[in-house]
Structure 1
Amino acid sequence: MTSDATTGTDVTALIDPRTGEPRGTAVCSRLPEVRAAVSGARAALPGWRALTPKERSRRLDRLAALVEEHAEAYAARERAGTGKPEAEVAGEIEQVADLFRFFATAARTRTAPASGLLVAGHESWVRWEPVGVVGVVVPWNYPLLMAAWRCAPALAAGNTVVAKPAETTPDSLELLAEHAAAALGPGVLCHLPGDRETGRLLVASAVDMVAFTGSGRAGADVAVRAGTRRVSLELGGNAPAIVLPDAPADTWASLAEAVTYNAGQSCAAPARVITLAENYEAAVAELTEALAARVAGRDFGPLNNPDQAERYDRLVAASGAKRNVAGTVAPEPGEEAGHWRPARLLADLPDDDPAVTEEVFGPLLTVQRAEGPAEALALANGVPQALAASVWTGDLSAALELTAALDAGETWVNCHLVQTAELPHGGRGASGHGTDLSTLALQEYQRPKTVTVRLGRRI
């Protein structure tokens, strides 16, 4: 971080992860900027929350249309900050527009607890009210999509939002805030660029709630700083994939594609393949071949920043795996110095290996051997994170038994990373708490108020 000599403001250098070269600077907001953003959101709150769900829905739908109309501009900004392939970026922008449209509708279809004559002589009902100003902090792996996951339900519920992007990827959220000002009104969604200190200042500010997506260590710090205010935390995962001997033939290619999507920088990506003894060697051989077919630079992008690349390298170097097989890196000319890492498989490693117990957050799969389904389940549930998991088998009964016993907020059978706006996503244990996606996410950003009226008397 440096100071801009002309303005005196703190700025951070932005790096293109594809090349490792500087691509500009971004402002690091400090206390005056944080206070101004929160004040702006507070001023916009009465007008936004007073709108009928129908009117909020119309405005959110307009924001979705603006995202679609300017998809190329969003794609350019996303690629600049993340280095994602064009196809990945295009798909994520489609999801962003869909999320705002989904929650535009969800705002008009809320459910509430029972109401009516529940106590003799009294009429009761429940009002769902917005929490107020929500501070949103999102990570660099999905800068625009994670912002939509948090902002869309918060806005649909009647809150205003101050959103802080990651230090390395401020670009697309800035554009979203510009379009939100046009579609929703000034101050309804504020963009607050900055670094970790900016995030701490936002959490400590006069926001009514904090929605945070990021690392477990940072999430714990957010929870402490937030005190008694509501906090929603999505803190990453270390997803197991239990592969039984009768798994479908496309299991290996599916897992290889899922772990290299976004260069493995997804909290729900498969990380730990767990097999039975009888199919362990076959799994290692098949995964080695499937991962070799995924080429960094052609099929998936780079890691996001030097710190993440260093962390990835450190965990690989610390692993006690006896088999460490890496795939191919083929960047475009001029991109050789980017943060590229190959698809990698680690096998014959202890169950307490750091590549197993920690979230690597890269294009890497470990393979562990279990003596039976019970031991496989114990290995799957044997890490602190509990966000997502998958089971691969042709036996539906076995699949359902295992998914019921897995400690994870989201599970898949014979697939992985299949998500839609209608289905909830959220973690347990060290993966945090709270709900993203689905109509259930609205309740993250609302408070119930019970109203009971005594009947038979004039008011």
Structure 2
Amino acid sequence: MTTETALFTVRRADASLTPSFPPFGQFIGGTFVPSTSTSTVEIVNPATEEVLTQVPAGTVEDVDAAVAAAVAAKDAWAAKTPRDRSAVLLKIADTIEANRELFETLEAANTGKPSAVAEDDISSAIDTFRFSAGAARAYSTLGADDYAENHTSVIHREPVGVVGVITPWNYPLLMAAWKIAPVLGAGNTLVLKPSEQTPLTTLKLAELIAGEVPSGVLNIVTGPGRVVGNRLSEHHDVDLVAITGSVGSGQKVAAAAAGSVKRVHLELGGKAPVVVFADADLEAAAKGVRSAGFWNGGQECGAACRVLVHESVADKFTELLVREISEITVGTPGAGDAEIGSMISKPHYERVLAALDDIRKDGLTIAVGGRAIEGPGYFIEPTVVTNVPAGAAITSNEIFGPVVSVETFSTDEEAITRANETIYGLAASAWTKDSARSLTVPRKLDFGTVWVNSHLVIATEMPWGGFKGSGYGRDLSSYALDDFSRTKHVMYNRG
């Protein structure tokens, strides 16, 4: 059943954004160089559908050149002290800070993000570099001592070497920062492939920090994943490959990496359950879903997109949630108080609309939203789907758009079982005033991050990563530097 109403229009900024574009080329060996291919990729502003610029569609030869530059630079960079590497990371943070408005404008133009989201992304990127600068100087490891008679053991923490990085389109600069900062902090060099849809802020960062980072330590190759990403994953001189992306992309990376038995770091998709118990603060939970379910237009792997609410309070909660979502403001970058912007691209926009068509075919209730919004740009109404039965496709399929579903449960055990019945294991939240429940439920939820009475609050000092189909490896925190390091045991016979 459908009760859709056309509540939403797009607020549009008075003037279009005028971003400062990076140079054209591949960033290899500390400078922008021509690609070996003349093919290009158009970069589109998804809020207006205008073509912003073009970047090279990179080749295998481009990747090989970038890897060779990273290999040439790795010994000298690894030999630097943690203090020296930390100083470089702090300079990168200062550079982003000094050019904050430039990065925010460029990110918003390339992604269609509202100003508030772009501002948060840039602030978080700055904080990531500053945290990693400190964490790089504060490794902890087992103390040197005699663990076997007459033998003294020492643990060395070493960089892994050359790291291949593949970043997604939903948080272009921030996800680059989540990888670049700990990778460099741990003493590695890297080759990064940004999403072919959103490479501009990553390339701009390379342009602005070229004088601060030694030649070859950071290299960027633009182009399609099937070419650039695959070559990075299979390359025998790449020691570890890290990706933030979909489950399918992660599977391809892991399969390609298997040929050279390299380590992989996978931060993949999610379908985060929000478990609202009968004693929860329902207004707070509804506001929490408004924020965490629709942040970045729901294009967020930890989005609060699947609500399980106790049957005794389901009607009241649903009423509050629909009211909250009905008040969301949709707009283009620069349009004042817009909460959500456009979908990232026409193909993704069409995928989300196809998912909404499937929801209608399944006979589910769309309580608010559910349509494309007229006018230029790839905008979709914030949507709430209610009365969702257990096992419905929407409870397990990652839509990655402004769509939240609501289903009910009867007992705590049922809620936990149903929440865990997904291939994903990235994030979840539990909403309750019961102190005992707040301690026991998170331990039973099979997710890498579990919030209690909040959702999608992220601290740079705390790890981010999932279980099951959401991958393995940890971003943020000192655990990220561990992921991009290796341990070596040296034992001295003093008998």
Residue 275 of structure 1 pairs with residue 309 of structure 2: yes
The structural deviation recorded for 1:250 is 1.8
Q: 1:99 aligns with which of 125, 128, 142?
A: 128
Does residue 360 of structure 1 match 2:402?
A: no
C-alpha displacement at 1:155, in angstroms?
0.6
In the alignment, structure 1 residue 292 sits paired with structure 2 residue 323: no
- Where 2:107 maps in the other structure, the secondary structure is helix
Please name the residue that 1:237 is paired with.
270
Cα drift, residue 43 of structure 1:
1.1
**Pick aligned residue for 1:168 from 193, 197, 202:** 197
**Unaligned regions of 5+ residues in structure 1, if any?**
1-5
Question: Matches of 1:142 and 1:130 in 2, distance apart?
Answer: 26
1:218 counterpart letter in structure 2 = S
Tell me how far 1:442 sits from its aligned partner.
0.9
Larger mean CA deviation between 294-303 and 261-270 belongs to: 294-303
What is the match of residue 59 of structure 1?
A: 88
Name the SS of the counterpart of 2:232 in structure 1.
Answer: helix
Q: Describe the superposition over 1:233-281 as per-residue Cα deviations: whole angstroms up to 9, x where unpaired.
A: 0111000000012212321112111111100111111111001111111
3-state SS, counterpart of residue 437 of structure 2: helix
Match of 1:204 in 2: 234
Please give the per-residue CA displacement for 1:152-204, whole angstroms capped at 9, x wherever unaligned. Answer: 11110000111111011010000122234222211111111111222112212
- The superposition leaves residues 433-454 of structure 1 with CA deviations (integer Å, 9 ceiling, x where unpaired) of 0111111111111110000011
The answer for the alignment partner of 2:347 in structure 1 is 307
Query: C-alpha distance in 1, partners of 2:214/2:207?
Result: 10
Name 2:42's counterpart in structure 1: 13
Secondary structure of the structure 2 residue equivalent to 1:127: strand
Distance 1:223 1:8 in 2: 27
Asked whether the 8 Å contact 1:245–1:279 carries over to 2, the reply is yes
For residues 70 and 354 of structure 2, the distance between their equivalents in structure 1, rounded to whole angstroms, comes to 41
Three-state SS of the structure 1 residue aligned to 2:312 is helix
| 1:147 match | 176
Report the secondary structure of 2:211's partner residue.
Answer: helix
Q: Show structure 1 runs of 4+ deviating over 6 A.
A: 328-331
Deviation at 1:46, TM superposition (A): 1.1
What is aligned with 1:113?
142
Distance in 1, matches of 2:388 and 2:278, equals 20
CA distance in structure 1 between the aligned counterparts of 2:80 and 2:194, rounded to whole angstroms: 27
Instruction: Report the TM-score, using the length of structure 2 for normalisation.
Output: 0.88
For residue 162 of structure 1, give the secondary structure of its aligned residue in structure 2.
strand
Matched, 1:81 2:81: no
In the alignment, which residue of structure 1 is the partner of 2:255?
Answer: 224
Contact 1:321 1:349 in 2 (8 A): no
SS of corresponding position for 1:422: coil
What is aligned with 2:367? 325
- Deviation for aligned residue 1:351: 2.4
Count how many residue pairs are aligned between Structure 1 and Structure 2: 448
Partner residue, 1:46: 75
Looking at structure 2, the residues matched to 239 and 118 of structure 1 have their Cα atoms a distance apart, in angstroms, of: 44
TM-score (norm 1): 0.95
SS in 2 for 1:57: helix
Q: Please say if residues 387 and 409 of structure 1, whose CA atoms lie closer than 8 Å, have aligned partners that are also in contact.
A: yes
Given that residues 295 and 327 in structure 1 are in contact (C-alpha distance below 8 angstroms), is that contact kept between their aligned partners in structure 2?
no
Structure 1 residue 321, shift from structure 2 partner? 4.6
The Cα shift of 1:330 comes to 11
1:379 aligns with 2:418: yes
The answer to whether the aligner puts 1:246 opposite 2:279 as a matched pair is: yes
Query: Conserved in 2, the CA contact under 8 Å of 1:377 and 1:406?
Result: yes
Residue 214 (structure 1) aligns with: 245
* 1:412 equivalenced with 2:451 (yes/no): yes
2:272 and 2:285 mapped to 1: Cα distance?
16
Superposed displacement of residue 8, structure 1: 5.4
Cα distance in 1 between the residues matched to 2:271 and 2:165: 23
CA distance in 2, matches of 1:38, 1:181: 17
Residue type of the alignment partner of 2:403 = L
Structure 1 counterpart of 2:386, which letter?
Answer: A
Checking the alignment, whether the CA contact within 8 Å between 2:273 and 2:427 is kept in structure 1 is yes
Determine if contact 1:410/1:426 at 8 Å carries over to the other structure: yes
Structure 2 unmatched runs, 5+: 1-34, 332-337
- Bigger mean CA offset, 156-165 vs 199-208: 199-208
